Chains A and B, each alone.
Chain A
Amino acid sequence: MSMVKLVNIKKSFGTLEVLKGIDLEIEKGEVVCVIGPSGSGKSTMLRCINNLEQITEGEIHIEDTLVVKRANNKDVEKGNSDLRNDLGMVFQNFNLFPHLTVLDNITIAPRVVKNADKTAIDQKAMNLLKMVGLVDKANEYPIRLSGGQQQRVAIARALAMDPQIMLFDEPTSALDPELVGEVLDTIKALAQEGMTMIIVTHEISFARDLADRVIFMDDGVICEEGPPEDVILNPKEERTQNFLNRIN
């Protein structure tokens, strides 16, 4: 089953065209890492997939079902937008809710959106906290946590909504170097459980080790894609080679 399918996605902000026709299909259980220079449209692509930005043109399918189809910045066919609930998102700046404890951060969306039963969802949240290794922080406020801990809570928070696909936008870029590992380990554990994931990252060695497929984006298009052995170790495109040389 294809979990996410993008067909000729375009996105402009005013006159600035940021995505210039993206085609991408992701299978169940696949881990896709997206790399590319700053401003190439990596975040915009993720944000379009879960509707934080509205696409100007193209089609988005989730789990083989049309979610949205647009042309000239207008809907041309009604899709089933409920499928967006199957997407979980993790942000570069964590975006935890500062006024809620760690536990409430994780349970608020299930309670508010799905009317989840309080005791059941609390139990589930504690299990998720166990998975990310933060059971003892359940009643702390986010400000008392390190960046790495906050990001692991953010991952647990997204998982509490039972997503089928996880989107990560540079999950370790805001972290001190010594805290990067703990977050990457959590993501690795998810990959081992078979979660379908799209991860925008600057951690090239992480992408090399974990990704089933690496996508190199440049200037609003997918410039090169394939298994990490090809894209990272033996890139064919000159732009990919330049990018990798620059960051190594």
Chain B
Amino acid sequence: MINQIQMRAIFDGSVLTIKVAFVALFFGLIFGTLIALGRMSKNKVIKSFSWFYVWFFRGTPLLLQLFIIFYAYPIIRIEMTGSGVEMNPMLSAYLAFSLNCAAYSAEIIRAAIESIDHGQMEAAKALGMNYRQAMTRIIIPQTYKRLMAPIGNELIMLIKDTSLVSTIALFDLLRTVKTMASATGDWVYYIYAAVIYLFLTTIFQIVFDKLEVRFGVYEER
């Protein structure tokens, strides 16, 4: 069966998984909103930067991005400046997952903003609001309901993708159980992992379903 030390390790692995997913979602949404606005900007430089950002982070594997930050960046730095850095694995994971999540969130948010009727922006402008006021008070709040399903989906993807951090010396849930399974020759640890993943994803699914209803109250006749 499972002893106390193993339980503790599985718990720690789950916490790490949740931490990486949530930090990534939090910063990914903030940065993703800016990138989304950048994609719709009239300023050519901002527009191309945002396009390039999404193109790069969606077009390359997350694992590669993680390696660039954790393994390649220190080498690049030594070659450029002569002084080395030791990358903190946790920080690298946060950074890579956040940057990656921002690219996906940007596209989700942009689609949601573009789905809002143009008349809303016009009405806001006709009432004297500037672009920033219209966006933050009128347009973006109307996207919340539409964002909940795809963002819930993104969180679930993140939870599962955190298993990639095992490649940079971190013990997430999957790596923890894999170590136990190979040490003991017992496959039941994989079942524990599956149950925990399913538990987490189910909870978040329910939460985001609830949020979607809540943000949509004004649409009910």
Q: How far is the CB of A223 from chain B (nearest CB, A)?
A: 27
Q: For chain B, what secondary structure do more than half of its interface residues adopt (helix, strand, loop), or is it mixed?
A: helix
B119 contacts A95, C-beta separation under 8 Å: yes
Partner of A109, one of B128, B142, B220, B221: B128
User: Which chain B residues have a beta carbon within 8 Å of chain A's beta carbons?
Assistant: 117, 119-120, 122-129, 133, 137-138, 141-142, 217-221
A95 contacts B128, C-beta separation under 8 Å: no
Does A161 have its Cβ within 8 Å of any Cβ on chain B? yes
A109 contacts B127, C-beta separation under 8 Å: yes
CA distance A97 to B137 in the complex (A): 10
Does A200 have its Cβ within 8 Å of any Cβ on chain B? no
B126 contacts A52, C-beta separation under 8 Å: yes
B141 contacts A99, C-beta separation under 8 Å: yes
CA distance A88 to B219 in the complex (A): 27
A95 contacts B120, C-beta separation under 8 Å: yes
With A91-B122, A112-B137 already in contact, the answer to whether A98 and B128 are too (CB < 8 A) is no
Residues of A within 8 A of B122 (CB): 52, 91, 95
A161 contacts B128, C-beta separation under 8 Å: yes
User: Which chain A residues have a beta carbon within 8 Å of chain B's beta carbons?
Assistant: 50-52, 84-85, 87-89, 91, 93, 95-100, 108-109, 112-113, 141-144, 157-158, 161
Interface centre among B120, B127, B137, B217 (most CB of A within 10 A): B127
A141 contacts B123, C-beta separation under 8 Å: no
A89 contacts B126, C-beta separation under 8 Å: yes
CA distance A215 to B119 in the complex (A): 26
List 14 extra interface pairs beyond A97-B142, A143-B220, CB under 8 A: A52-B126, A88-B126, A89-B123, A91-B119, A93-B119, A97-B120, A99-B141, A108-B127, A108-B137, A108-B138, A109-B128, A113-B133, A143-B218, A161-B127
Q: How far is the CB of A102 from chain B (nearest CB, A)?
A: 11
Q: How far is the CB of A45 from chain B (nearest CB, A)?
A: 15
Residues of A within 8 A of B142 (CB): 97-99
Residues of A within 8 A of B129 (CB): 109, 112-113
Partner of B221, one of A108, A112, A144: A144
Residues of A within 8 A of B125 (CB): 51-52
Residues of B within 8 A of A141 (CB): 217-218
A158 contacts B218, C-beta separation under 8 Å: no
Residues of A within 8 A of B138 (CB): 97, 108
CA distance A96 to B218 in the complex (A): 12
Residues of A within 8 A of B128 (CB): 84-85, 109, 113, 161
Residues of B within 8 A of A51 (CB): 125
With A95-B119, A143-B221 already in contact, the answer to whether A113 and B127 are too (CB < 8 A) is yes
CA distance A88 to B128 in the complex (A): 9
Residues of A within 8 A of B120 (CB): 95, 97
Q: How far is the CB of B119 from chain A (nearest CB, A)?
A: 4
Q: How far is the CB of A95 from chain B (nearest CB, A)?
A: 4
Residues of B within 8 A of A95 (CB): 117, 119-120, 122-123
A–B complex contacts, Cβ < 8 Å, 21 sampled:
A52-B122, A85-B128, A89-B126, A91-B119, A91-B123, A91-B126, A93-B119, A95-B117, A95-B122, A96-B123, A109-B127, A112-B133, A113-B127, A113-B128, A113-B133, A142-B218, A143-B218, A143-B219, A144-B221, A158-B126, A161-B127
Q: How far is the CB of B139 from chain A (nearest CB, A)?
A: 10
Q: How far is the CB of A56 from chain B (nearest CB, A)?
A: 18
CA distance A98 to B146 in the complex (A): 14
CA distance A198 to B117 in the complex (A): 25
B127 contacts A157, C-beta separation under 8 Å: yes
A98 contacts B218, C-beta separation under 8 Å: yes
Tell me the nearest residue of chain A to B136, going by C-beta: A112
A50 contacts B126, C-beta separation under 8 Å: yes
B127 contacts A99, C-beta separation under 8 Å: no
Residues of B within 8 A of A84 (CB): 128
Residues of B within 8 A of A87 (CB): 126
Query: Which are the 5 A-B pairs with shortest beta-carbon distances?
Result: A109-B127, A95-B123, A89-B126, A95-B119, A141-B218
CA distance A157 to B220 in the complex (A): 22
Tell me the nearest residue of chain B to A84, going by C-beta: B128
